[in-house]
Structure 1
Amino acid sequence: MSAVTSVGAVDTSASAVLHRDLKQDPFRIVSSSGFYIKFDDGRKILDATGGAAVSCIGHGDQRVIDAIAAQAKTLDYCHTMFYSCPSAEQLCQQLIESTNGQMAKAFIVCSGSEAMEAAMKLCRQYFIELPVPETNRTHFIARRESYHGTTLGALSVGCHVGRRAVYEPILMQNISHVSPCNAYRNKMDSESISEYVSRLAKEVDDEFQRVGPQNVCAFIAEPVVGAALGCVPAVEGYFKAMKAVCDKYGALLVLDEVMCGMGRTGTMHAWEQEGVIPDIQTIGKGLGGGYAPIAGVLVGHRVIKTLENGSGRFSHGHTYQAHPISCAAAAEVHRIVQSEDLVQNASRMGKYLGSLLKQKLGNNRYIGDIRGRGLFWGIEFVKDKSSKAPFDRELDIAMLVHQKGMDLNDNGGILLYPGTGSVDGKFGDHILIAPPYNVTMDYIDLIVDLTSMAIEVAFEELADRLAN
């Protein structure tokens, strides 16, 4: 932290940035290219997670940089209360076409949290604008061990215990949470998949009944849970069952694809693999590939028609909504993904990544589960494979594996994404692997090798403590 010297001058040697951790400055990245990032100490690290599953086409793609520069020269800002611009129109058209017309309109914002806030507002406005308004609908049902963003509304609907803790007293009270669809942790050995789905559907139905079905706006869920659980996909039939419950009571289905969407799981939209079409969908990280801050909401025909027949407007907006430069960057990223068949590559390479992870790490005594879809994979660590008991929280296993990956200097190092709370929101350690969609088999071989090394080094360091 900056300090005042004896003569009153300010010491600026320390960072002026309010970093997430005030007691330790983060490593400083000075450049990036392709699949690698470079730090100011000269280290070059393989980015196996695209940051937070963001960099879907790698770093430094000149085509996107050129699109950003061209847009900046033409139009730098557009106030969306009064105007639109070509880059926003183009991007939204591309997005709607990517759903084969199943969604009607796109609303572009700057972050996934903003997208979830907008989605929640849309849910409320939809029921207000029905021919016979349903004004009692103010309640949202979501799932435990979920994450939907960090603003107060998004944090409220999510259930990431660690990120909520400090803010619990000021979070929204009109939200309740049901069980996640996490077969590794929660499906009983005696249950079939269909029986497990039926049990979860009954739990959601019971929750509708408890709070009053006439009071529920929407059910909100991630098709593949990212940060909170570590790439846990729903079992077959789960989302069809959730949609049926929503339809039964007239509630909306909101799918959060900020982390798992836009090609990450092997289809452009994760819901394409679930056999359902959401009423509202949030998108984010892979939308702009990290080249500009951007996220969005895709809105279904049911909601749009209701607004068109009602007030004719969405009562919401942001200063930097549909920013021309961000839209130009995302439109070019999307064009590259489409023209180079990168979603198909994500599907193919994802199968290879999953099989190689299971082959090389499946027998590790401290790895309980390896799961994922497309290029979105998680590894969950356990103290005991048979009981699935998690490690003591103070060991911070996932963070240790992440740190050891960064420190593999002789082998170049690897960036992995650590997470906790995969058991109950507090206990449980996992890491995420989410390479760019244009990854090759050679790079996947390297990613798995370096991940294996990081895990091995981490548990070697813990050997004495684990033996006791």
Structure 2
Amino acid sequence: MTPISSQNGVSVKAEVGKTAQITMEAASDEIADLIIDSNTVMHRSLHDQPLRVVGSEGLYLHLENGQKFLDATGGAAVACLGHNNPVVKKAIIDQLDAVAYTPTIFYSTSAAEELCSLLVRGTNGAMSRAFICSSGSEGNEAAMKMARQYFVELEGPSTRRHRFISRKQSYHGTTLGSLGLGGHVMRRKIYEPMLSPAISRVSPCYAYRGKVQGESAEAYVTRLADELDVEFERVGPENVCAFVAEPVVGAALGCVPSVPGYFAAVRKVCDKYGALLIADEVMSGMGRTGYLHAWQSPFINTAPDLQVIGKGLSGGYQPVAALLASPKVIEVLTKGTGAFSHGQTYQAHPVGCAAATAVQKIVMQPGMMEHVRKMGMALEAGLRKHLVDKWYVGDIRGAGLFWGIEFVQRKEDKTPFEPSQQVAMGVHKLGMQEPWMISLYPGTGSVDGARGDFVLLAPPYTITPEDVELIVQKAAGTIDAYFEGFGVVSEKNGTIEVAQ
């Protein structure tokens, strides 16, 4: 090896090292300048700069300008334990000290194995394996692929099963597969030519708008199950892999829970035709409804064949979601190829798994779900007390700590506002201002994919009665203040006509 020479007693190697250090420091300064250039970020809007968060604690997010606002929605029903939880932060750091990343094609980690064991145990035997990914969209995509593979291995490569049935006004993700699965009109609109034609949709279980006058809950459920049965026959039951539905619909309808008996009824239809039942619990699962899994609640009480979870799984501390598979599905794959023909680079990421495990150990503590149900009842009572009689509130619905408020311009016939009025977004924007400083998650399209405004509330599971009172006060105050900007044109025979 050629020796390193020296000049005037100074090592050339040392000089090179010194120069490299100076260069790195200069580069770091330059990079720091680039990092704070928010114009390089592909924000949700290219025209508006979102508020910059610089700190967080519990229910609150702290802004760069010194303000703080109450995060009553946990983002998109994500932050189930609030912000800056020290136990979860420590779990992440401990995992980083061990290993940050390993490719699952070669290795496993105790972090992944502990999380999957915890998740499977929480289903009381209804599920037997867990596939860990990074988002709900990925989870639903994986569910579609596993359903297809299940029938390829069960019925052979020549199986005709490739179709899926989902529901109108549904949302299952933004990847092309999961977007095609959903029925959210506005999210699908510009991508329609690219979406799979092998998916059809039936009516959602949406009692506020779906039930006809005088119809009982039992008759409504029967009518929806019959509609699903007819759709199986229309597309050919031998072509259908699965029926996909959210036990409590989140962003597409605004916290709409299934009518009791609905999931048991659609389960029977799926079993009749040999199709799988997939429950999308990305938004409503992992304790959000007051039960670890929404399907475990008394108003559903029906286990699916495949289940997708996310959001509250890791509480936002890491991007984590999962697909849970039943023993029925896993048995077929085990006896067949013995593998799931799917995989991703960040599948079962150790740091994500460690964060999710820490979150779920808190969520699964004795008494936590009872607390969620208790605080949920208090939240419902407060919202109804302050808002149920207002002319602009059509419906208040939800379960656990997952509540939606739907707005109407005529209460008696449930007439929605026009999309051009941007009512839900207007309520949200007002809530982000003084004196309210509260986050209310806005949504649209609940009526027909375009019309229908609502806001969601999904506070942390750890809230206190005092927190509930504050959320109700701020939420109701914001909504009332917003609609003060609408003038009442006339009121005849209980009909209110309004103008903005």
Alignment TM-score, normalising by the size of structure 2: 0.89
Deviations 1:265-304 (CA, angstroms, capped at 9, x unpaired): 0100000121211000000000000000100001001100
Retained in 1: the 8 A contact 2:292–2:364? Answer: no
2:474 is the alignment partner of 1:450: yes
* Aligned equivalents of 1:148, 1:373: Cα separation in 2: 20
Q: Which position in structure 2 is the counterpart of 1:308?
A: 334
1:410 aligned residue (435, 448, 453): 435
2:390 aligned residue (364, 389, 395): 364
Q: Which amino acid aligns with 1:143?
A: R
1:101, CA displacement in angstroms? 1.7
* Aligned equivalents of 2:110, 2:394: Cα separation in 1: 49
Retained in 2: the 8 A contact 1:113–1:151? Answer: yes
Retained in 2: the 8 A contact 1:226–1:260? Answer: yes
Q: Which moved more, 1:324-333 or 1:75-84?
A: 75-84
Alignment of 1:216-295 (within 5 A): 216-273=240-297, 274-295=300-321
2:57 is the alignment partner of 1:33: yes
Alignment of 1:26-425 (within 5 A): 26-130=50-154, 132=156, 135-273=159-297, 274-339=300-365, 341-407=367-433, 409-411=434-436, 413-425=437-449
Deviations 1:135-181 (CA, angstroms, capped at 9, x unpaired): 10000000000000000000000011111111011001100010000
Q: 1:110 to 1:13 in 2, by over 3 A?
A: closer
* Aligned equivalents of 1:315, 1:14: Cα separation in 2: 40
Deviations 1:75-114 (CA, angstroms, capped at 9, x unpaired): 1111111111000000000000101121010000000000
Q: 1:410 to 1:326 in 2, by over 3 A?
A: same
Retained in 1: the 8 A contact 2:428–2:441? Answer: yes
1:24 aligned residue (39, 44, 48): 48
The runs of at least 4 consecutive aligned structure 1 residues that moved more than 4 Å come to 131-134
Retained in 1: the 8 A contact 2:169–2:183? Answer: yes
3-state SS of paired residue (1:236): coil
Which 5+ residue runs of structure 1 have no aligned equivalent? 1-9
Q: Which amino acid aligns with 1:267?
A: Y
Which protein is bigger by CA-based radius of gyration? 2
3-state SS of paired residue (1:410): coil
1:191, CA displacement in angstroms? 1.2
Q: Which amino acid aligns with 1:275?
A: N
Q: Which amino acid aligns with 2:235?
A: V
Q: Which position in structure 2 is the counterpart of 1:6?
A: none
1:392, CA displacement in angstroms? 1.5
3-state SS of paired residue (1:46): strand
* Aligned equivalents of 1:151, 1:341: Cα separation in 2: 37
1:330, CA displacement in angstroms? 0.4
Q: Which position in structure 2 is the counterpart of 1:4?
A: none
Alignment size in residue pairs: 457
* Aligned equivalents of 2:141, 2:82: Cα separation in 1: 29
* Aligned equivalents of 1:340, 1:303: Cα separation in 2: 31
* Aligned equivalents of 1:73, 1:376: Cα separation in 2: 36
* Aligned equivalents of 1:467, 1:234: Cα separation in 2: 34
1:14, CA displacement in angstroms? 5.0
* Aligned equivalents of 1:404, 1:67: Cα separation in 2: 37
Deviations 1:217-275 (CA, angstroms, capped at 9, x unpaired): 00000000000000000101100010000000000000000000000001000001212
Retained in 1: the 8 A contact 2:170–2:183? Answer: yes
* Aligned equivalents of 2:435, 2:412: Cα separation in 1: 35
Retained in 2: the 8 A contact 1:230–1:377? Answer: yes
3-state SS of paired residue (2:331): helix
3-state SS of paired residue (2:323): strand
Identity of aligned residues (%): 54
3-state SS of paired residue (1:103): coil
Deviations 1:48-74 (CA, angstroms, capped at 9, x unpaired): 000000000010001110000000010
Deviations 1:360-383 (CA, angstroms, capped at 9, x unpaired): 110111000000000000000000
1:341, CA displacement in angstroms? 2.9
1:437 aligned residue (461, 468, 476): 461
1:134, CA displacement in angstroms? 6.0
Q: Which position in structure 1 is the counterpart of 2:27?
A: none
Retained in 2: the 8 A contact 1:139–1:217? Answer: yes
* Aligned equivalents of 1:13, 1:444: Cα separation in 2: 38
Which 5+ residue runs of structure 2 have no aligned equivalent? 1-33, 490-497
* Aligned equivalents of 1:393, 1:463: Cα separation in 2: 18
Q: Which amino acid aligns with 2:202?
A: V
* Aligned equivalents of 1:320, 1:260: Cα separation in 2: 24
Q: Which amino acid aligns with 1:54?
A: V
1:464, CA displacement in angstroms? 7.2
Q: Which position in structure 1 is the counterpart of 2:24?
A: none
Q: Which amino acid aligns with 2:449?
A: G
* Aligned equivalents of 2:75, 2:56: Cα separation in 1: 12
3-state SS of paired residue (1:137): coil
Retained in 2: the 8 A contact 1:127–1:134? Answer: no
1:467, CA displacement in angstroms? 3.5
3-state SS of paired residue (1:450): helix
Q: Which position in structure 2 is the counterpart of 1:5?
A: none
3-state SS of paired residue (1:129): helix
3-state SS of paired residue (2:40): coil
* Aligned equivalents of 2:390, 2:306: Cα separation in 1: 40
Deviations 1:330-367 (CA, angstroms, capped at 9, x unpaired): 00000111226322211111111111111111011100
Retained in 1: the 8 A contact 2:253–2:445? Answer: yes
Supply the RMSD in Å over aligned alpha carbons: 1.5
